[in-house]
Structure 1
Amino acid sequence: VLPPAEAAADRAEVPGDGVGERPARLAVIAMGKCGGRELNYVSDVDVVFVGEGDLNIAAKLASSMMRVAGEACFDVDAALRPEGKAGALVRTLDGHIGYYRRWAHTWEFQALLKARPVAGDPELGRRYLAEITPMVWAAADRDNFVADVQRMRARVERHLPSELAERELKLGRGGLRDVEFAVQLLQLVHGRSDPALRDRSTLDALGALGSGGYVGRADAAGLRESYQLLRTVEHRLQLQRLRRTHLFPAEDNETELRWLARAAGISPQRGRTAGEILQAEFRRHATRIRHLHEKLFYRPLLDAVSRVPSEGLRLTTAQALDRLAALGYAAPDGALQHIRSLTSGMSRRAAIQRALLPVLLDLLASTPDPDRGLLAYRRVSEALAETPWYLRVLRDEGAVVEHLATVLGTSKFVPDLMVRAPEVLRLLGDPAALTGRDPADVATSLRQTVRRHTDLGEAVASARSLRRHELARIACADVLGLLEVPEVCRALSSVWVAVLESALDAAIRVQAAEWGSTPARMAVIGMGRLGGAELGYGSDADVLFVCEPTTPAGVQDAVRFASAVAELVRNMLGAPSQDPALQVDTDLRPEGRSGPLVRTLDSYRAYYAKWGDIWEFQALLRARFVAGDAGLAQRFLSAIAEFRYPEGGIDQASAREIRRIKARVDNERLPRGADPKTHAKLGRGGLSDVEWTVQLLQLQHAYRVAALRSTSTVDGLRVAADAGLIGQSDAEGLIDSWLLVTRVRNAATLVRGKPTDQVPTSGRELVAVASILDHMDEDDPGGFLDYYHRITRRARAVVERVFYES
């Protein structure tokens, strides 16, 4: 219609005999549904006019063309032109270009997606398109581009009368505009680097988004089906009376519903009228459209992708190396190799990686070690290549990508676990799921899982698997700053306790099957950090094994049985594995490594009464029940109370002996060359200083201050302050130091990937540790060390007064 109308207007308006140079040239650019070849039966035709020569004549041509076309068929609307109805009807090409470069709003570039020359001067139309197209595909580089598009959609919804919003096929929630806005936003963001997405047709663009991996196949198919149904309903409604309408019939309008259902090819089924079926289908498809619209249109990754400059998406090798170096990658060549490995080929996996990597590279650049983070991402991606949900989660859940980049660019400990516990990756987008698991629930789950296995190897494997999952979950939450130090320690300790419970239960079942009976009850007593529920990522489990016979005359059999069980527990947990070590340490038992692995309750009592040293009584301050027979454990704890909480407190000679032992331990066990100012365990104001101080107070006063009988360092210090045994300020100084040093020790293990007591003093490792503690300052990582020294110096001064001089 438009070309004949334009020709008729041309004949009517252009003066002269038609020979020689024309005084005006006019190109008609279709926009909106006409541009996308998606017109309804009753629809406006949106156009923009471009002119050359005498613009007055061109404007008359345009006006006449609009009138002729409107009288013949469709109304022609030029409101999408620059400045809208307030702007000139016809502009020159330079006028259009100047406007779009300086004044255009984001929505105007979105509208230009559909621009297509349809009438008038073809060469002028082609030139217009050639000039405008690059601007369209650079629009996503504008500040706040994604937010602007999202606000525009919200504004359209707000202007709808509330009583019509659920029936409006075009503009309502779950309507056609939801599909179109989502598709167009994805096109504009990803189409900068992928020409396959540059299609005017909504359905063709949706197909390209699905094929390219930008939208899940099922989501693309669902949107297509629902969009087509709504367009079909829209067409039928307009055909009924050949008038413009987008309003679905009201629920109580059975006549209209019946007519529309029949027009759409829907028949009654199983006692339901055609109208009822149509209404249910309309609601189902509108709900699906709205769900997918919100999933895609508000995808956090879109905003992150849009912030990557267009030139950063299309680079030569040399430019890519320069950009990687500028982002902070120390080895750009290596980083480029990782990128090529992840994106090579024509697979859907490679396509999704190509969409993800520009964002990921920028996110990793903000982490302490981008190179290691990218390598870890490649390892995780290759290991999970056949995991169907992996890339889908990264593409659809922006928070997962952001948190994954932080974790991989900070920690060497997590990637190895994540490869073998990939399900944790899905939790990264949900902080509540990452942190909200109750340690008691974790322990119960682990025990129940292990008990389902009759084979010892399978039982141990299941215990390791659940521990691996929990370690990865806790470590991710820790790196992201979602857990406080006591929460991390309790969670790690709870996992260890559950593993011990499960291993003990499995070992007892194995030995009972071999013996044909169970001649002993057993309990595992946690000692050291396990007893205090203060374990770190690299901590061993210090334990004592205690048993008692199930028959009065069976002491020897009980000890033999229990020793076999204990040995089996140690061996199966300590077996070599790719996971962090599970070492069960029994060196705190009477006589150390020279003594029997398991003793009866009477044997423990007799040993401590006759041979126990003050350091052994000090070690018993941490003793608590962790696994096995609770009644036996309680009898053991009652039996050792007189040794760890001696009546009247320890004497001065014993206190001097404790001070002497600590001085020797600090001197002999501090690694050669280690800086005592930055050694977490044995350094000044470190863990040993604080723990020995509170333990001395417990040995001296717990006999009369019952609340001081705690295995927790922090709780012990708080009680000591409340009881007046130590000044409140001194207690706070010790607590601050213990919490800081514990967190630094954990952070250093997360960063290095292996247990360590040495605080990094320079380089990326120091920056990474500081970032975990939220002291990130790449320009001055030494500021964190100054803070560490200040806190530990204060604690050391308290230790000198309270531990050494009191």
Structure 2
Amino acid sequence: MQGGRRDSRYGQLVRRGFTEPAAAERLLASDAFGEVRADTQLLDAFGATADPDLALNGLVRLVEAEEDPQRLLDTLLASKPLRDRLLGVLGVSEALGDHLARHPDDWQALATYERRDLHPGIEEFEAAVRPATDPDDLRHRYRRALLSIAARDVCGTSDLAQTAAELADLAAATLRAALSLASAEAPEDAKSCRIAVVGMGKCGGCELNYVSDVDVIFVAEPADGTEEAQALQAAGRLAARMMRICSDTTAEGTIWPVDANLRPEGRNGPLVRTLYSHLAYLNRWAKTWEFQALLKARPVAGDMALGEAYAEAVAPLVWQAAERENFVPDVQQMRRRVVENIPAAQVDRELKLGPGGLRDVEFAVQLLQLVHGRTDTTLRSPTTLDALDALAAGGYVGRQDAAALDSAYRFLRMLEHRIQLHKMRRTHLMPEGEADQRRLGRSLGYRSDSVNELHKAWRKHAAAVRRLHEKLFYRPLLDAVAQLDVGEARLSPSAARQRLEALGYADPAGALRHLEALASGVSRKAAIQRTLLPVLLGWFADSADPDAGLLNFRKVSDALGTTPWYLRLLRDEGAAAENLARVLSAGRLAPDLLLRAPEAVALLGDEGGLRPRTREALTQEVLAAVGRAADAESAVAAARGVRRREMFRTAAGDLIGAYGTEELPAEDPAPAVDRIGAALTGINAATLAGALRAAVRGRWGDELPTRFAVIGMGRFGGHELSYGSDADVLFVHEAREGVSEQEAGKAALAVATELRRLLQLPTSDPPLLIDADLRPEGRSGPLVRSLESYAGYYRRWSAAWESQALLRAEPVAGDEDLGRRFTELIDPVRYPADGLSEEALREIRRLKARMESERMPRGADSTTHAKLGRGGLADVEWTVQLLQLRHAAGVEGLRTTRTRAALSAAGEAELIDPEDAQTLDEAWLLATRVRNAVMLVRGRAGDTFPSDARELGAVGRYLGYPEASGSGEMLDDYRRVTRRARAVAERLFYGTSE
């Protein structure tokens, strides 16, 4: 029978949620519980807690510490409210169980259940803590008041908003008590000044956590007859002492840290300022984030009249913040910085700072408040949930959206509270242990499968929050222009324009017209656009030129609007829509290419669609297209069509790779530059091959009377083309058997001339300019030479500059065997066996100095000119080429047309110090990226940074400076890198050492 009773009790404990029923049975069997152990009401109360084992352990400790344990147990059995409150707290908070074990009489604070106890305000809390006689007494009183708040919270008597407000009121009352203690310790200081404590953050917003820093700002004024400096010193001592009382840890624990770092100049600024000093700083120096923080400013302690004066004085500045220059980039960067600072191992556990977390809701609500609160005073609540309600009531947020975010915010905050309550530690991380997660799930009401139910709810609410940009910012804009009655909020046209302006659109009226054209009506096309646009608008707003992004999207949509696959691709392939948004808002080149070939949008949805194609594949496609054309002009048009598509492919892949996304970080610039240069070289080589085939077929049919090859020179031969580079070439021919030299020469000249004519035909595409000025004798020499003529010329007349130019010569089109024999012919010229003579060395140095003085554009800044400026491409390339001319005959690795490969080989051969090689390589990469960025952004080639602010910002984003304020940093970094490269180049190029 005894065993049966034991099994029965054991089963009862298991059914009530005990995970260690044997240990629980032993505890209940102790003498301390007496007959109470058999009371099913008590067992049911344990079963209703988040962690019955924890609750039982806590009660055992309390009973053992209580002088009259029977009174406690009798009261517990007689009062269900006390049972629910006390055991509920013990089942969720080990830390509060520790407090009750130290102060067993404090359970009586939970025994009364009057209406006045349900929702106390700051006066009731002040009455509870203000009588404190010393800091430890204050800590005890604070924790006892916290016990009551937790009891109401756990039992559901208070909802989240009420609990957070009570915690904020308790914090305010505690600050008042701490300031009173500090004043009692230093009465002379207290007499010398008026000091106000302004609550910030969650304290100011009446939405505090259980464990959180309490953010404050101190304002002080001299008391009558006191000098300002003396008063500020006294106020500083009072403020510091008050902070220590709250922050110090003793046997009674700690209350919470008081954080004054939101003050002007942060921790580097004075702790206390006068009201005038605060305002002077805010008007002259404050950043956007400081005004966003001041949205929650609320006087909480000290001289309340002074605190109110501060709040009234700063309010107008807060509500003008959205009119500040760079408002949107500043706010976006704040959110970006928060996410970047989360340790990678914690991102998936972050309730507050991670994607879909609490900060996303708070951030979005505050941004909408700052945008629309300028004219609508109903939006100016410092409390997140109240502000969200006001945004919904005012029509700025859809009511269903607001309700979903309200629910998500409450869930996440409740989860955060329960996590903090356990140990009374400041944390926002989901615990990893299953037991901890089980306790959390049960504390939120999940019973049957608490851990899985908890995670399911968390995922649901986090997903809702992740959609907040679409829901809070952009959907109402569409409703404002689409003339729909969907039961959601409707923005007035003026409010819609105001929101677009605050989000970075320079022409909000134009943006609204584009939205109306895209999204109005009841067609299927308009319905899909209304699904796509909210997300696209967010991506456009995150770019340097949102207006251009939206305009280009409208143009592409107009061009492809009747194509069935276009909108379906964007809707169903998430990467395609984001890639398109990034490309359309990043500059002019890629959108211009796309608008002339809008079907290339399909490349953005293909997993490998942005990967450059090989030169062989492109050449095969171009030659096939040329073969199908009716005449030479249409053949070249077909070749240009392939070039246009491939340039878009390359530019789009470059932009998306440079900017990166949350899922795909920006790629390493070094391999990206090499890949882009090789891709553009391949595209232009294939185009030349097609144009050459067209020139030959138009007059001679399938075979020219002479073999003909095109030799790439400069960046073309070096596989280092940028988007705006010309194609430097040489033309070489060799008479076929039975053809006279005269006839062959005429044919070669004719085909070269026709090739140039075809490529110069008017086009809206980026031109492929053929430059043959690097041929022997330059412009004065014949356009085409035979292989034998080249051999004779280089043998007898070759100058040092021609040997240097030939370093990057490589066949790119035409007869492959002839091209190979040409490179064999020039190898001894460009890789001289005896190195450079002193005369040749002087000539090369003289030519470079002349180039710098004569070819630098008038008025150009030599510190930022990417090609000819200090430490730019010319400095690096001429230095590398000098090493090749001197040493390539003996160092095989130097026999390459590629600058970076030659520089690496020079380092491996110890011809250059590794640090110098790294310096030159870094400068060459940066200057090349600048040239590419300028072409991508402006749509035309350039070697200097743009002067237009938006264009400069777009270049900065490409180079990895996402915020608008990064332009100055970008220029400083460029000058620093190229200055170091110039020093190395001068030493190596003009020095005397070998």
- CA displacement at 1:318 relative to structure 2: 0.4
Amino acid in structure 1 at the alignment position of 2:699: Q
* Paired residues for 1:299-318 under 5 Å: 305-306=470-471, 308=473, 311-312=476-477, 313=479, 314-318=490-494
Q: Distance in 1 between matches of 2:877 and 2:407?
A: 54
- CA displacement at 1:100 relative to structure 2: 12
* Paired residues for 1:300-379 under 5 Å: 305-306=470-471, 308=473, 311-312=476-477, 313=479, 314-379=490-555
Tell me whether 353-362 or 525-534 shows the greater mean CA deviation. Answer: 353-362
Q: What's the counterpart of residue 456 of structure 1?
A: 632
- CA displacement at 1:450 relative to structure 2: 2.6
Q: What's the counterpart of residue 76 of structure 1?
A: none
Q: What's the counterpart of residue 165 of structure 1?
A: none
Q: Distance in 2 between matches of 1:393 and 1:299?
A: 24
Q: Distance in 2 between matches of 1:134 and 1:551?
A: 82
Aligned residues of 1:141 and 1:306 also touching (Cα < 8 A): no
Task: Spell out, residue by residue over 1:608-653, the C-alpha distance to the aligned partner (whole angstroms, 9 max, x if none).
Answer: 2222221111111111111111111122112122221122111111
Task: Spell out, residue by residue over 1:355-412, the C-alpha distance to the aligned partner (whole angstroms, 9 max, x if none).
Answer: 3323222221110111222222222222222222222222222322222222222111
Aligned residues of 1:435 and 1:477 also touching (Cα < 8 A): yes
Does 2:704 match 1:518? yes
Distance 1:553 1:369, change over 3 A: closer
Structure 2 alignment gaps of length 5 or more: 1-157, 164-355, 357-392, 413-458, 480-489, 659-666
Q: What's the counterpart of residue 686 of structure 1?
A: 872
Task: Spell out, residue by residue over 1:395-430, the C-alpha distance to the aligned partner (whole angstroms, 9 max, x if none).
Answer: 222322222222222111111111122233223244
Q: Distance in 2 between matches of 1:433 and 1:101?
A: 50
- CA displacement at 1:794 relative to structure 2: 1.1
Does 2:675 match 1:487? yes
Q: Distance in 2 between matches of 1:431 and 1:140?
A: 34
- CA displacement at 1:693 relative to structure 2: 0.6
1:387 pairs with one of 547, 560, 563: 563
TM-score under structure 2 length normalisation = 0.51
Does 2:885 match 1:702? no
Task: Spell out, residue by residue over 1:444-500, the C-alpha distance to the aligned partner (whole angstroms, 9 max, x if none).
Answer: 333333333353233212211111111001001111125711000000001111111
* Paired residues for 1:41-440 under 5 Å: 136=400, 138-141=402-405, 305-306=470-471, 308=473, 311-312=476-477, 313=479, 314-435=490-611, 437-440=613-616
Distance 1:518 1:401, change over 3 A: closer
Q: Distance in 1 between matches of 2:751 and 2:698?
A: 8
- CA displacement at 1:707 relative to structure 2: 1.9
Does 2:831 match 1:645? yes
Aligned residues of 1:624 and 1:637 also touching (Cα < 8 A): yes
Q: What's the counterpart of residue 92 of structure 1?
A: none
Q: Distance in 2 between matches of 1:299 and 1:622?
A: 57
Q: Distance in 2 between matches of 1:537 and 1:135?
A: 49
- CA displacement at 1:523 relative to structure 2: 0.8
Structure 1 alignment gaps of length 5 or more: 1-97, 107-129, 149-184, 190-297
Aligned residues of 2:401 and 2:471 also touching (Cα < 8 A): no
Amino acid in structure 2 at the alignment position of 1:591: E
Report the 3-state secondary structure (helix = DSSP H, G, I; strand = E; otherwise coil) of the residue aligned with 1:542: strand
Q: Distance in 1 between matches of 2:654 and 2:523?
A: 35
Task: Spell out, residue by residue over 1:252-276, the C-alpha distance to the aligned partner (whole angstroms, 9 max, x if none).
Answer: xxxxxxxxxxxxxxxxxxxxxxxxx
1:507 pairs with one of 695, 715, 739: 695
- CA displacement at 1:441 relative to structure 2: 2.7
Q: Distance in 2 between matches of 1:648 and 1:329?
A: 63
Does 2:807 match 1:631? no
TM-score under structure 1 length normalisation = 0.62
Distance 1:524 1:142, change over 3 A: farther
Distance 1:341 1:602, change over 3 A: same
Q: What's the counterpart of residue 120 of structure 2?
A: none
Q: What's the counterpart of residue 598 of structure 1?
A: 784
Q: Distance in 2 between matches of 1:393 and 1:348?
A: 14
Q: Distance in 2 between matches of 1:421 and 1:301?
A: 34
Q: What's the counterpart of residue 907 of structure 2?
A: 721
Amino acid in structure 2 at the alignment position of 1:414: A
- CA displacement at 1:551 relative to structure 2: 2.3
- CA displacement at 1:658 relative to structure 2: 0.6
Report the 3-state secondary structure (helix = DSSP H, G, I; strand = E; otherwise coil) of the residue aligned with 1:523: strand
Aligned residues of 1:141 and 1:307 also touching (Cα < 8 A): no
Distance 1:645 1:134, change over 3 A: closer
Aligned residues of 1:471 and 1:492 also touching (Cα < 8 A): yes
Q: Distance in 2 between matches of 1:574 and 1:400?
A: 35
Does 2:663 match 1:496? no
- CA displacement at 1:307 relative to structure 2: 5.6
Task: Spell out, residue by residue over 1:501-544, the C-alpha distance to the aligned partner (whole angstroms, 9 max, x if none).
Answer: 1221222222313xx96320111111011000100101111111
Aligned residues of 1:301 and 1:398 also touching (Cα < 8 A): no
- CA displacement at 1:344 relative to structure 2: 3.7
Aligned residues of 1:682 and 1:689 also touching (Cα < 8 A): yes
Task: Spell out, residue by residue over 1:147-175, the C-alpha distance to the aligned partner (whole angstroms, 9 max, x if none).
Answer: 99xxxxxxxxxxxxxxxxxxxxxxxxxxx
Tell me whether 446-455 or 395-404 shows the greater mean CA deviation. Answer: 446-455
Report the 3-state secondary structure (helix = DSSP H, G, I; strand = E; otherwise coil) of the residue aligned with 2:731: strand
Q: Distance in 2 between matches of 1:135 and 1:562?
A: 75
Distance 1:559 1:141, change over 3 A: farther
Q: Distance in 1 between matches of 2:703 and 2:919?
A: 54
Identity of aligned residues (%): 50
Report the 3-state secondary structure (helix = DSSP H, G, I; strand = E; otherwise coil) of the residue aligned with 2:966: coil
Q: Distance in 2 between matches of 1:469 and 1:603?
A: 39
Q: Calculate the aligned-residue CA RMSD, in Å.
A: 3.2
Report the 3-state secondary structure (helix = DSSP H, G, I; strand = E; otherwise coil) of the residue aligned with 1:776: coil
Q: Distance in 2 between matches of 1:301 and 1:401?
A: 17
Q: Distance in 1 between matches of 2:733 and 2:626?
A: 23
Aligned residues of 2:861 and 2:869 also touching (Cα < 8 A): yes
Report the 3-state secondary structure (helix = DSSP H, G, I; strand = E; otherwise coil) of the residue aligned with 2:728: strand
Report the 3-state secondary structure (helix = DSSP H, G, I; strand = E; otherwise coil) of the residue aligned with 2:563: coil
Task: Spell out, residue by residue over 1:728-757, the C-alpha distance to the aligned partner (whole angstroms, 9 max, x if none).
Answer: 111111111111110111011100111111
Distance 1:756 1:704, change over 3 A: same
Q: Distance in 1 between matches of 2:465 and 2:544?
A: 23
Distance 1:299 1:350, change over 3 A: farther
Distance 1:100 1:460, change over 3 A: farther
1:776 pairs with one of 930, 939, 962: 962
Task: Spell out, residue by residue over 1:736-780, the C-alpha distance to the aligned partner (whole angstroms, 9 max, x if none).
Answer: 111111011101110011111112366122221121122223233
Amino acid in structure 2 at the alignment position of 1:418: L
- CA displacement at 1:439 relative to structure 2: 4.2
- CA displacement at 1:303 relative to structure 2: 7.7
1:734 pairs with one of 912, 920, 924: 920
Distance 1:552 1:374, change over 3 A: same
Aligned residues of 1:301 and 1:397 also touching (Cα < 8 A): no
- CA displacement at 1:137 relative to structure 2: 5.7
The number of equivalent residue pairs is: 535
Amino acid in structure 2 at the alignment position of 1:498: A
Aligned residues of 2:956 and 2:966 also touching (Cα < 8 A): no
Q: Distance in 2 between matches of 1:787 and 1:375?
A: 33
Aligned residues of 2:772 and 2:783 also touching (Cα < 8 A): yes
Amino acid in structure 2 at the alignment position of 1:789: R
Task: Spell out, residue by residue over 1:151-201, the C-alpha distance to the aligned partner (whole angstroms, 9 max, x if none).
Answer: xxxxxxxxxxxxxxxxxxxxxxxxxxxxxxxxxx9xx99xxxxxxxxxxxx
Q: Distance in 1 between matches of 2:464 and 2:583?
A: 21
Task: Spell out, residue by residue over 1:37-93, the C-alpha distance to the aligned partner (whole angstroms, 9 max, x if none).
Answer: xxxxxxxxxxxxxxxxxxxxxxxxxxxxxxxxxxxxxxxxxxxxxxxxxxxxxxxxx
